[in-house]
Structure 1
Amino acid sequence: MINYIKQWYNRKFSDPNAVTLFLLLVFTVAIIVFFGSLMAPILIAVALAYLLDWPVMRFMSIGMSRLAATIVTFTLFIALAVVVFFTLIPLVWQQSTTLITELPDMVTNLQVWLHKLPELFPTIVDQNQINELMQGLKRRVVGMGEQLLTLSLNSLVNVVTIMVYLIVVPLLVFFMLKDRDELMSHFSRLLPSNRQLISQVGQEMNLQIMNYIRGKAIEVVVVTVVTFFTFFLFELRYALLLSILVGLSVLIPYIGAAVVTLPVLLVALFQFGPSATFAWIAVAYLIIQALDGNLLVPILFSEAVSLNPVYIIAAVVIFGGIWGFWGVFFAIPLASLVKAVLTAWSSGIEEQRASP
């Protein structure tokens, strides 16, 4: 056993480039685990900088300097953010508060409909099952109310945090866009000389993250707009709030779509009851999810590394447990990073064996 471990160690860590890559990964994971919450503004700024770097490059391609392209892109982004903040946010907040106040009535109506199931399907549904389901649902509603109360008590702290983010994050984004080449040069100077594998992985991941963030932003907008017009045509209440939830659900692969299905169907059932309109809304929602997964995602992420759904779900669970929201958001790039590291590590070792 000891000889096997020695052979594995000599085989995997005989290359200085592999050792350097391993130490960098260990250091990065330690920083994320212990200081992830403190780095949240920087991570938000990095994600926005990746998103805005594409229009900056487009402006530069028509002859503008990087400073001018950064100023134009940043000004347009701030103007769009201000418009969204003062138009959509108040409407979403109003619909959210109304939905929360009507949630007990929805649960009561749901209980009435569920109690009819044992009469319709006596051999399939039992009354005890309905009672256990409703008790669990009531406990979740009570827990949600307690969380909202805690959130309201901490609202002052949250407001201060948001104000800090509104000042710090835009400044970070602006200077990351303006001084990108200089910042990358400073970072490269910190790396050791044996960085062949680090450069190989870094180039691949830079392309992956850029494509992922840009693709996710487009996917969120497209899914939100299509869902809103669909719900609006059916005159579904809280159409704006539900469409935004459906759009944001694409940030969490597979799991997000499953979670957001419950409030959509619950609101539709509360408004229309078990009718044909409710069935059409459910069918339309399923069609949107199917088109997103089978048409929109392949188009937007055609350059991304193909990963098995098992690996993606495992990445969401693992990185989300380690890093919270950002672990879930970057689950696919992080899973791609693991794949790129393993590929580069193996290829580097094979090249070293072939070189003698």
Structure 2
Amino acid sequence: MRFGQCISLLAIVISLYILWQIRQIILIVFASVTLATVLNQLVIFLQRFRIKRSIAIFISITLVGLILGGFSALILPRITQQLQQFSYLMPMALERIRLWNDWLLRVIPNNVLENIRDLRYLTQNLEVWLNQILNNFFFLLTRSLNVILGLLFFVALTIMFMANTSSYRRGFILLFPAFYRQRVDEIMNKCAYSLVGWIKGTLITMLFIAVASYIGLIIFQVPLPLVNALLAGFLEFIPNIGPTLSAIPPVILALGDEPWKAVFIVLWYVAIQQLESFVVLPLAMRSQVSLLPAVTLLSIVIFGSIFGFLGVFLAVPLVIVLQVWIQEVLVKDVLNKWDN
């Protein structure tokens, strides 16, 4: 290997190492670009009314801030109150489940009990899970400053990308050979179209799941309906895994109240998920790149292991962008034009 090749290989290794060390920052940048792409559609809409871009950006950001602020002012006090009740009711629900478990262990014959030995550890595992959450609560509070700084960094980047979108876009396109730059511009347009369609569809499905969950929790009189409904809507952002996780707290609370409620809550959550999958989602995701369920699940696991919670949260938009680039570059521009 020549000296120049050694230097090139060393430069690649160092670059990959640096990228790995700043992977969380890169993911925040990607999230900022995604949000800026979505908000830019609102800016473009406002510009149709002959509003200057700078003023349109200010209006867009102010509008989003007012919506979030109004939502927080109306909902946050109730969420805080119900979260306090949650910390009080959950240990009581687990204690009641433990008493039922002990009763079952006394009633079930020993020969049957040997085949379901794991039942003995049901409440113990639930208690360990709850204790871990409560013990980590203080740790989460101590890291709140880092979270706030990360959010400020995210918002600042988003505003910067929106303020001068064309310059950042041209700078990225210049990284490619001159003959391919027009094609890169087309691919970026397709990525933006897919991301905007995915965001719109996801917001619609999240709203549907939250409202439907709230209605079911009210009907069956499960404690803390607002918190559980908002949790279900928020976790809908994470496909496959999120809906399952969102059903755990209301089921535990229902078991602590009346066992029959837990059965109906599970059936209700399954029903609304089926309705969302076969009716709401196809209508909301018309402009989204179709993703196979296995690909989505694998992406959540892979990006979650690499980037942590932020990777799980952004796994789907990352896969959408990667799929567009693979389809356009690898499939259309390389493999479909491959000559034997």
Q: TM-score, normalised by structure 1?
A: 0.78
1:292 aligns to 2:305 (yes or no): no
Residue number among 168, 174, 180 corresponding to 1:183 in the alignment: 168
- Equivalent-residue separation in structure 2 for 1:99 and 1:47 (angstroms): 34
Task: Name whichever of 92-101 and 245-254 sits farther off.
Answer: 92-101
Shift of 1:74: 1.5
The residue that corresponds to 1:268 in the other structure is 254
The verdict on how the C-alpha distance between 1:334 and 1:172 changes in structure 2, with shifts beyond 3 A counting, is closer
Q: 1:300 to 1:326 in 2, by over 3 A?
A: farther
Determine the C-alpha separation between the residues in 2 that align with 1:340 and 1:40. 18
Post-superposition offset of 1:121: 6.3
Percent of matched pairs sharing the same residue = 21
Instruction: Write the letter of the residue equivalent to 2:254.
Output: A
Cross-structure match for 1:131: 120
Higher relative contact order at CA 8 Å, sep ≥6: structure 1 or structure 2?
1
Gaps of 5+ in 1: 1-25
**Partner of residue 57 from structure 2, selected from 70, 75, 89:** 70
Distance 1:41 1:352, change over 3 A: closer
Going from structure 1 to structure 2, the CA distance change for 1:349 and 1:37 (only over 3 Å counts) comes to closer
Letter of the 1:158 counterpart: S
Question: Structure 2: which 5+ runs fail to align?
Answer: 1-12
1:112 aligns with 2:112: no
Measure the CA separation in 1 of the matches of 2:264 and 2:121: 29
Change (3 A) 1:84 1:32: farther
- After superposition, residues 30-45 of structure 1 pair within 5 angstroms as 33-39=20-26, 41-45=28-32
Residue 321 (structure 1) shift: 1.0
| Correspondence 1:255 to 2:241 | yes
Q: Say yes or no: does 1:149 pair with 2:138.
A: yes
Distance 1:199 1:345, change over 3 A: farther
Residues 140, 161 of structure 1: alpha-carbon distance in 2 compared, 3 angstrom cutoff: closer
Structure 1's 306 and 44: CA in aligned 2 closer, same or farther, altered over 3 A?
closer
Structure 1 residue 198: deviation in Å? Answer: 4.4
Could you tell me how far apart the structure 1 residues matched to 2:230 and 2:16 are?
32
Tell me if the contact between 1:201 and 1:337 (Cα under 8 Å) persists in the aligned partners: no
Tell me the residue number matched to 1:207.
Answer: 193
Equivalent residue in structure 2 for 1:316, among 294, 300, 305? 300
* Paired residue secondary structure (1:304): coil
- TM-superposed deviation, 1:132: 2.5
The number of equivalent residue pairs is 325
Tell me the residue number matched to 2:36: 49
- After superposition, the CA RMSD in angstroms is 3.2
